[in-house]
Chains A and B, each alone.
Chain A
Amino acid sequence: MRDFFQRNGAVISTYLLLAVFFWVVMMIVLPQAYMLNFSFRHDLLPNQIGGPKDVYTLSNYEYLLFGRPGDEELFNYLHLTVFLRTIIASIFVTLLDFALCYPIAYYIAQVAKGGYARSMILLLILPFWVNEILRAFAFRILFGTSGVINAFLQTMGILDEPIDFLRADVALYAGLSYAYILLMVFPLYNAIESLDHNQVEAARDLGSPWWRIHWRVVMPHAKPGIASGCTLVFMLSAGALAAPQILGGPSSLWFTQIIYQWFNTGGNWAQGSAYAIVLLLACLVFVLTVMKVFKVSLGEIAR
């Protein structure tokens, strides 16, 4: 501690400690602790708070699993299905983003030269100057039944009837993948960029076809970047709200939309908190499992 103060001086040291304290306590611990506390309470009227009914309960979690007591169905199939679909769809979006971004990141990091690589990065960043909601609506226009894509396909004579991309969730997956593309490209780019190009050439010289060079040399080297990018995209996809709201089909719900309904229209913060905590835990468990399987440590991801 004394070392730390001596090294950085009193002002900077105090600032750093306060900033870290603020970040950890105010941004991470307190909000989550509040949510956790809420999730174990009943949804009470203001005058009942602190009264005899204000006790801890598991009912909010029970509701997600079994629905209202006395329902016909054994489980709360509606919400559980939405939850599972959100997780699976987020995995799909993550894989899609990886498949799209890996070649781009490799190209910029290892193949393209100086100025050319910089302009490619700029091209990737430019669309993100536009507001997220606006981008989602732009995709609605692109993918709508009377949208640009359908109009084009019909004029070309490829389609007779317009395809409902929104109902088929194509627009949603496309919109989500697009929204988080940078969060995949940059970790991948960083990781691949640090690979000594001679290793790629050495593998090639030893007779390796291109796919094996990637499988045995580039990807193992870029593993922390891959893990970092996939974690970010997965977490944010599962937690996305605007894109599903705007681009989702009429019959498909995202789990975050249910959470939003509990907090907002339902006014039941306790129930909403329980749902949010479940989503958070599911994401954490998923990410930690993936890291375990691919033998990546948290420290490597932060690199």
Chain B
Amino acid sequence: MSADVELDHMTIRFGEFTAVKDANLKIEDGEFFSFLGPSGCGKTTILRAISGFLEPTEGEVRIGGKNMKGIGPNKRPTALIFQNLALFPLMSVADNIAFGLEVRGVGKAERRKRADELLDLIALGDQGNKKVSELSGGQKQRVAIARALAVEPAVLLLDEPLSALDLKLRQHMRTELRAIQQRVGITFIYITHDQGEALTMSDRIAVMSQGIIQQVGTGTEVYENSQTAFVASFVGENNPFHGKVVGTEGSDALVDTAFGRLRGRNVRGMQPGQSAMLFVRPESMSFANGDAENVIESQVLHSEFEGSFFSVFLRGEGAKDIVMSMTNSGDLPQYQEGESARVAFKAERALVLPVGDVADE
């Protein structure tokens, strides 16, 4: 069946608290789609509504065009991978994988055959008779995926499944998850608070904050063309400059800030007189030479060497520092801590957005 997932004006409330507010989007069949946001933003609530453990207070969840209202998690064409995996510790690895088939009345021999095929898929071919506790973290991860895939779901839901793994393994599993998704070709809906995971794996990302879907788009779109202050500050690093729009020129807007008049892309069509935030990413800044536009006069506070790149912290407005990062290409500019510095950025690398909440560091 076609497995596009639609959230149609879906709102979920727990008593007075609104966990998800008017979520409205369509996830295409075969897409790798991520919900990205800080903890408590409502992304897990959305996942539970799609899998059937929760019913929306208002609106609908549709899978393959069919309203899922009143259909329990055991009857939906979805399979969920839990944050703690929730493997059955008293069953063997193969029995874990075959559990969904056992439920469907598949015979023992056939079950074992399917389990073996899936074990091959996750490269654990000869480990079917082991206990779950004998596997490593990454292997358990793969067993959880195989167990979910065994029931041939149209949609696979993943609730931060990599968060318990160490960094190296997490990076490896990103690649592996993406490869598995492309092999089986079904819709993956992935929940994460880690923007790196969302950006590397997803076809599209929905960035969430406080129950509201802020922006939906490809990784490049949400990073390069953030539409709200929250998205700009949550996805990747960003330097905000508060100010007031004083004029527009073509697709640009001019903003008066504590560092003078700065120019950026007016992606939200802001009008003169409105309060605005201008965002510039650390990698879009550089030490200014000559009379460049968008020059910020500040003071070097300290710097951090991070191997492939190098971050310089400058005194910003209020308590927040301005961060500038430069690729370590061997000819780093010379400066002293405490000396004044002039940095600049190009107008097409800056975004002018309405004032809004920014993500906590």
Q: CB within 8 Å of B: which residues of A?
A: 196, 198-199, 201-209, 212, 216-217, 220-221
Contact A205 to B99, CB < 8 A, known contacts A199-B88, A220-B90: no
**Binding-face segment, B23-31, B75-83, B288-296, B307-315:** B75-83
Residue pair A205, B78 in contact (C-beta under 8 Å): yes
Q: Which of A205, A207, A217: most chain B Cβ within 10 A?
A: A205
Residue pair A209, B84 in contact (C-beta under 8 Å): no
Min CB distance, A197 to chain B, in Å? 9
Residue pair A201, B82 in contact (C-beta under 8 Å): yes
Q: Which 6 A-B pairs have the closest CB atoms?
A: A198-B86, A206-B100, A202-B86, A207-B103, A208-B103, A205-B80
Min CB distance, A57 to chain B, in Å? 51
Residue pair A216, B99 in contact (C-beta under 8 Å): yes
Q: Which residues of B contact A209 (CB under 8 A)?
A: 74, 103
Residue pair B53, A206 in contact (C-beta under 8 Å): no
Min CB distance, B53 to chain A, in Å? 6
| Closest A residue by C-beta to B72 | A204
Q: Which of A196, A198, A206, A207: most chain B Cβ within 10 A?
A: A206
Given contacts A198-B84, A206-B74, 13 further A-B contacts (CB under 8 A): A202-B88, A204-B74, A205-B52, A205-B74, A206-B100, A206-B151, A207-B104, A207-B151, A216-B91, A216-B99, A216-B102, A217-B88, A220-B90
Residue pair A199, B86 in contact (C-beta under 8 Å): yes
Of A199, A208, A217, A220, which contacts B74 at CB under 8 A?
A208
Q: How far is the CA of A196 from the CA of B84 in the complex (A)?
A: 10
B138 at the interface (CB under 8 A from A): no
- What number of A-B contacts does a CB cutoff of 8 Å give? 59
Q: Which residues of B contact A216 (CB under 8 A)?
A: 88, 91, 99, 102
Residue pair B90, A206 in contact (C-beta under 8 Å): no
Q: Which residues of B contact A202 (CB under 8 A)?
A: 80, 82, 86-88
Q: Which residues of B contact A221 (CB under 8 A)?
A: 90
Q: How far is the CA of A209 from the CA of B75 in the complex (A)?
A: 10
Q: Which residues of A contact B99 (CB under 8 A)?
A: 203, 206, 208, 216
Binary A-proximity of B144-177 (CB < 8 A = 1, otherwise 0):
0001100100000000000000000000000000
Q: Can you report 8 A-B residue pairs in the complex whose CB atoms are below 8 A from each other?
A: A196-B86, A202-B86, A204-B73, A204-B74, A205-B51, A205-B74, A216-B91, A220-B90
Of B52, B91, B147, which contacts A206 at CB under 8 A?
B147
| Closest B residue by C-beta to A201 | B53
Residue pair B72, A206 in contact (C-beta under 8 Å): no
Binary A-proximity of B77-118 (CB < 8 A = 1, otherwise 0):
011101110111011000000011011100000000000000
Min CB distance, B145 to chain A, in Å? 13
Contact A201 to B151, CB < 8 A, known contacts A209-B74, A216-B99: no
| Closest B residue by C-beta to A200 | B86
Q: How far is the CA of A278 from the CA of B78 in the complex (A)?
A: 58
Binary A-proximity of B36-59 (CB < 8 A = 1, otherwise 0):
000000000000000111000000
Q: Which of B267-289 contact A (CB under 8 A)?
A: none
Q: Which residues of B contact A212 (CB under 8 A)?
A: 103
Min CB distance, B105 to chain A, in Å? 10
Residue pair B82, A198 in contact (C-beta under 8 Å): yes
Q: Which residues of A contact B102 (CB under 8 A)?
A: 216
Q: How far is the CA of A205 from the CA of B73 in the complex (A)?
A: 5
Min CB distance, A92 to chain B, in Å? 29
Min CB distance, A123 to chain B, in Å? 26
Contact A201 to B74, CB < 8 A, known contacts A206-B103, A206-B147, A212-B103: no
Min CB distance, A264 to chain B, in Å? 49
Q: Which residues of A contact B75 (CB under 8 A)?
A: 207
Q: Which residues of B contact A220 (CB under 8 A)?
A: 90
| Closest B residue by C-beta to A217 | B88
Q: Which residues of A contact B100 (CB under 8 A)?
A: 206-207
Q: How far is the CA of A217 from the CA of B86 in the complex (A)?
A: 11
Q: Which residues of A contact B82 (CB under 8 A)?
A: 198, 201-202
| Closest A residue by C-beta to B73 | A205
| Closest B residue by C-beta to A198 | B86
Q: Which residues of A contact B80 (CB under 8 A)?
A: 201-202, 205
Q: How far is the CA of A221 from the CA of B147 in the complex (A)?
A: 19
Q: Which residues of A contact B87 (CB under 8 A)?
A: 202
| Closest A residue by C-beta to B83 | A198
Q: Which of B72, B102, B103: most chain A Cβ within 10 A?
A: B103
Q: How far is the CA of A202 from the CA of B83 in the complex (A)?
A: 11
Q: How far is the CA of A202 from the CA of B97 in the complex (A)?
A: 12
| Closest A residue by C-beta to B95 | A216
Min CB distance, A226 to chain B, in Å? 14
Q: How far is the CA of A209 from the CA of B99 in the complex (A)?
A: 12
Q: Which residues of B contact A203 (CB under 8 A)?
A: 88, 99, 103
Q: How far is the CA of A202 from the CA of B144 in the complex (A)?
A: 10
Q: Which residues of B contact A199 (CB under 8 A)?
A: 86, 88
Q: Which residues of B contact A198 (CB under 8 A)?
A: 82-84, 86
Q: Which residues of B contact A206 (CB under 8 A)?
A: 74, 79, 99-100, 103, 147-148, 151
Q: How far is the CA of A84 from the CA of B324 in the complex (A)?
A: 87
Q: How far is the CA of A202 from the CA of B52 in the complex (A)?
A: 12
Q: How far is the CA of A203 from the CA of B80 in the complex (A)?
A: 10
Q: Which residues of A contact B51 (CB under 8 A)?
A: 205
Min CB distance, A227 to chain B, in Å? 15
Q: How far is the CA of A220 from the CA of B104 in the complex (A)?
A: 20
Q: Which of B73, B78, B91: most chain A Cβ within 10 A?
A: B73
Min CB distance, B71 to chain A, in Å? 12
Q: How far is the CA of A94 from the CA of B348 in the complex (A)?
A: 78
Of B73, B78, B148, which contacts A201 at CB under 8 A?
B73
Q: How far is the CA of A93 from the CA of B91 in the complex (A)?
A: 31
Min CB distance, A20 to chain B, in Å? 33
Q: Which residues of A contact B78 (CB under 8 A)?
A: 205
Q: Which residues of A contact B86 (CB under 8 A)?
A: 196, 198-199, 201-202
Q: How far is the CA of A224 from the CA of B75 in the complex (A)?
A: 32
